[in-house]
Amino acid sequence: MISFRSFVVRPSSKLLFFPKHVPRQYGKSVFSKTSAYYEQISSNPIRMASTTSTRMMGSSMPESRKRAKRGEYSQLESDDISHFSNLLGKHRVITNESEIEGYNVDWLRAIKGQSRLVLRPKNTNEVSKIMTYCYERNLAVVPQGGNTGIAGGGIAVHDEIVISTSLMNQIVDVDEWSGILVCQSGCVLETLNEHLSQYDLIVPLDLGAKESCQLGGNVSTNAGGLRVLRYGSLHSSVVGCEVVLADGTILDCMNTMKKDNTGYHLKHLFIGSEGTLGIVTKVAIQCPPKPKAVNLAFVGINNFQNVLETFRLAKRDLGEVLSACEYLDQETLSAVFENLQLKSPIESSFPFYMMIETSGSNGKHDEEKLSMFLEKAMSKEFVADGTIASQPSHIKNIWNIRERFPEALLKDGHLTVYDFSIPLESFNEMVEETRSHLGPLAKRVTGFGHLGDGNLHLNVTMEEFNPATLAKAEPFVYNYVAQRKGSISSEHGLGSIKRDYIYHSKSPQAVSYMRELKRLLDPKGILNPYKVIPNK
């Protein structure tokens, strides 16, 4: 029974074409409600726009976003489900469609997967047994952590089995002297922070998704976040990991020492390979001491040149206490007022704003440093106005504004986020050029990002999804980045939607060696297929 609602409907209420190439071998009628090509559209107009699967809009979609052709993997059979139920118990094997739905949609509600089975192992052994079986049976899998990624890396493209690490949430050990934390990969970041606070330690990364994201997923994507400027990337803070390979082998790269130069550093292969080389099951990570004093300045700036000057001055005058440096433009803040009704920390509006955070062991020292820096920045007229927060509640409120940017922009209707590393001087130019290039095709084009790391988040919003907008934006934005020898994905990874652009930032030789490594570690290609490395 097809309900009218199971087709995507444009506001003119014209039915879209029914793609003739929808294959019938899924064992289910394509008219069934849960056929992945068609969304269940609720009557909420915002959801209607944002849940439009970007995959089914036909030929006007950029190639990179179309669903890849299904690989030659086996089909899931009831024997497989019985096997897993015997292994994990029936409560940790999910086949119910409505329960699976959450695992099949990404956070931006732009990508919908077609998985029909979710497994929830509790420990490394179970993961190993699952993979051994899947390898034998030639069943494709997709590892999934907190499902907070926005490149589609954790969502099944076809019917890959979702292996969720959510139940692998045990903290194994915290060494109070070295500060090294060992835990399973399903631990939620914020939970780790809470546990570590009794040792006066913190996790070295901080992202808006911290109350949902899991450490394994963070490691697999080499997540960046707000504090890379201060604590470095996961390549420097992860000291060891345990990984399950495609054939079920448990690869022990665990190490709890800060320094270890014995042989090739295999663990780095798994940091950032987005679950395509192995499933991270345990992590050992170096945790820094919890700062005793945190201060946050939110300042308004009149032009982009002054943003750069302020940043340079901050690096010089705040030095070792500088722990975060973010920038945003007026359009981003407008989205926050309009869509989330959050107040700006400063009254007047400016074309640009910055958030500069200091963390240190002496509050008085840091506050003085920050005040002096701000006085200097104001007297040199780099900064026009601003506020300093030292109260944790105020700091939390101001960071909250930053962490909710994607949410605010998503409420415009549909949001596409680009994540680029480009020279600092080009940040604003890129935003403005993209805005004029897209013209009326976009509702809002905004820029914000980790200025301290040279990482721009370029955002394009639309009131309702329009493939023409994406087609015009890509490859324009990717070409712009490639011309400046930048990275087309700074921290979000390639996932499923950006892998075709890998050549914009990596040489063909490099990519071919990546393929060799993948072949070595996953000869059958069952581990998170259709991701990261493009088809030849």
Contact set with another protein (CB under 8 A):
194, 197, 292, 298-299, 343, 345-347, 371, 374-375, 378, 383, 385-396, 398
Residues contacting residue 368 through CB under 8 Å, at least 6 positions apart: none
- Is 89 or 439 the residue whose CB approaches another protein more closely? 89
First to last CA, the chain: 40
Least gap, CB of 399 to another protein (angstroms):
10
Q: Residue 108: CB partners within 8 Å, gap ≥ 6?
A: 50, 150, 406, 410, 415, 417
Q: Which helix (H) or strand (E) holds 244?
A: strand 238-244
Distance of closest approach, residue 345 Cβ to another protein, in angstroms: 4
For 222, the 3-state DSSP assignment is coil
Beta-sheet strands, E only, within 361-467: 385-389, 414-421, 444-450, 455-462
Closest to another protein by CB, 377 or 471: 377
Nearest C-alpha neighbor of 499 from the set 473, 531, 477: 531
Q: Which two tokens stand for residue 523?
A: 């000869």
DSSP state of 112: B
CB 360 within 8 A of CB 366: yes
Instruction: State the nearest-atom distance from the C-beta of 342 to another protein, in Å.
Output: 10
Cβ of residue 325: shortest distance to another protein, in angstroms?
17
- φ and ψ of 309, to 5 deg: -65, -45
330: tokens are: 């007026």
CB of 117 within 8 A of CB of 111?
no
Side by side, the strands of the sheet bearing 93-94 are 93-94, 118-119, 161-164, 141-144
Task: List the structure tokens of 245.
Answer: 């390979």
| Nearest CB to another protein, comparing residues 383 and 408 | 383
At its nearest, how many Å lie between another protein and the CB of residue 226? 17
Whose Cβ is closer to another protein: residue 315's or residue 396's? 396
Give the shortest CB-351-to-another protein separation in angstroms.
18
Nearest distance, CB of residue 391 and another protein, angstroms: 3
Token match 């109260």: residue?
A: 391
State the CB neighbour count (10 A cutoff) for residue 39. 21
Residue 370 or 470: the one with the smaller Cβ distance to another protein is: 370
> Which residues lie closer than 8 Å to 391 by C-beta, 6 or more apart?
none
Closer Cβ to another protein, 190 or 433, answer by number: 190
Cα of 10 vs its chain's centroid, Å: 29
The whole-angstrom separation of Cα 142 and Cα 155 is 7
Q: Hey, how many other C-beta atoms are within 10 angstroms of the C-beta on 508?
A: 9
The least distance separating another protein from the CB of residue 393, rounded to whole angstroms, comes to 4
Q: Residue 395 CB, nearest distance to another protein (Å)?
A: 8
Least distance in Å: CB of 371 to another protein? 8
Whole-number minimum distance, CB 350 to another protein, in Å? 13
Q: What's the rounded Cα separation, in Å, for the pair 223 and 215?
A: 9
Q: 44: which DSSP letter?
A: -
Cβ-contact 381, 308 below 8 angstroms: no
Given the complex with another protein, which of 247 and 385 has the nearer CB atom? Answer: 385
- Omega cis (within 30) before 351: no
Q: In whole angstroms, how close is the CB of 219 to another protein at the nearest point?
A: 26
Q: Give min distance, CB of 145 to another protein, in A.
A: 25
Which CB atom, from 193 or from 303, has the smaller least distance to another protein? 193
Judge contact between 339 and 406, C-beta under 8 A. Answer: no
Nearer to another protein, 377 or 488 (CB): 377
Give the helix/strand (H/E) hosting 228.
helix 228-231
Cβ neighbours of residue 265 closer than 8 Å, sequence gap 6 or more: none
280 versus 398: smaller Cβ distance to another protein: 398
Lookup result for tokens 């444009």: 10
Q: How far is the C-alpha of 459 from the C-alpha of 451, rounded, in Å?
A: 15
